[in-house]
Amino acid sequence: MVSITHSTNTPRGINPFGNKLYNVISNEHNLIFSPISIHAALSLAYQGSTGATADSFKQNLEVPDTNQNAEEYKNFMMKLKEDGNVTIYLANKMYVQETYKLKDHFKATAETYFFADGQNIDFSKEENAANTMNTWVKESTGGKIDHLIEPEDLSDDTRAVLLNAIYFKANWLTQFEEEKTGVEKFFVSDSESFDCQMMHQKDKFEYAENSELDAKILKIKYKDERFSMVIILPNSYNKINDLENELIHKDISNLTRRRKATAIATL
């Protein structure tokens, strides 16, 4: 996982929401997802909700009231725009059926606090609508994601689509040397492994051993030290499912606070 330090004023609810979401969508397969992308899009929808719907958003996103939630996202988005040794884009976009009009208050909140643009579109022309949205996604991710929406995802009944795109690229604080990369065994269980390329370096990293999780925790910083990668490794090859179940109830940001700098070789 890529972690963002607390100095960036991360909006409340992202970590616990990410844990709950992982529990719902994870299965036997490898999975990569961005909790902040989904949390941001749903927080935007939360701004336009009322009554029981708003209560449900608030509970499941684990966020404060709409005003505080909007303010936190504005501060967070402004922090991401600060110059640093990283390329990161977090973009939001609303597409609304052309016969509908966004309320002025919601549109102003989206633009001011979430830097989200709204655009009317004819969803009944599925292919044209999908191409329009995919073009926006491609531009917002530096060309890395060029196909997200399929025409069959849309229909005459579609009234609105909320999109969030995130793009992150950064160099390590301490670079891995290419010549130290080699083929080694990667174990998926005590009895099953496969060969893969593994990177090596020896340096001081923030590291901890957590007996409650029966796992090791390693934090590798990027050159822009607002960002880091956190790796949580079970002590037993067969305990990955147990670790996943334990992490559902943990705040990852709290786990990474109890570390000490130590010299280790990482791969």
Residue that wins the pLDDT comparison between 64 and 260: 64
Place of tokens 């655009």: 119
Per-residue pLDDT tens digits for 83-108? 778 888 888 899 999 999 888 999 99
Domains defined for the chain, CATH in brackets? 2-170 (3.30.497.10), 178-266 (2.30.39.10)
Average pLDDT over residues 4-30: 75
Those residues with Cβ within 8 angstroms of residue 193's Cβ, 6 or more apart along the chain or in another chain: 185, 186, 187
Residue 4 half-sphere exposure toward CB, CA atoms < 13 A: 18
User: How high does pLDDT run on average in the chain?
Assistant: 87
Confidence class for position 259, pLDDT limits 50, 70, 90: low
The predicted structure's pLDDT at residue 214: 92
Q: In the chain, what is the straight-line distance between the N-terminal and C-terminal CA atoms, in Å?
A: 15
Those residues with Cβ within 8 angstroms of residue 139's Cβ, 6 or more apart along the chain or in another chain: none
The DSSP call for residue 224 is S
Structural contact between residues 86 and 142, judged by C-beta atoms closer than 8 angstroms: no
Report which of 1, 73, 4 is spatially closest to residue 44, judged by C-alpha positions.
73
Residue 240 half-sphere exposure toward CB, CA atoms < 13 A: 13
Pairing state between β 86-97 and 260-266: unpaired
Per-residue pLDDT tens digits for 182-217? 999 998 888 889 999 999 998 888 888 888 899 999
The predicted structure's pLDDT at residue 252: 74
Confidence class for position 7, pLDDT limits 50, 70, 90: very low
Confidence class for position 49, pLDDT limits 50, 70, 90: very high
Pairing state between β 2-4 and 201-210: unpaired
Per-residue pLDDT tens digits for 123-175? 999 999 999 999 999 988 888 888 889 999 999 999 999 998 888 889 999 99
Measured between alpha carbons, how far is 121 from 98 in angstroms, rounded to an integer?
A: 5
φ/ψ of residue 199, rounded to 5:
-90, 150
Q: What angle do CA 61, 121, 97 make, to 5 degrees?
A: 60
Measured between alpha carbons, how far is 147 from 144 in angstroms, rounded to an integer?
A: 9
The DSSP call for residue 250 is S
**Position 38 pLDDT exceeds 90:** yes
- Which strands make up the sheet holding 86-97, listed edge to edge? 116-121, 86-97, 160-170
Task: Describe the crossing of helices 104-113 and 66-80 by its angle, rounded to 10 degrees.
Answer: 40
The predicted structure's pLDDT at residue 157: 94
Q: Which amino acid is at 123?
A: F
Report which of 170, 251, 166, 257 is spatially closest to residue 219, judged by C-alpha positions.
257
The predicted structure's pLDDT at residue 6: 44
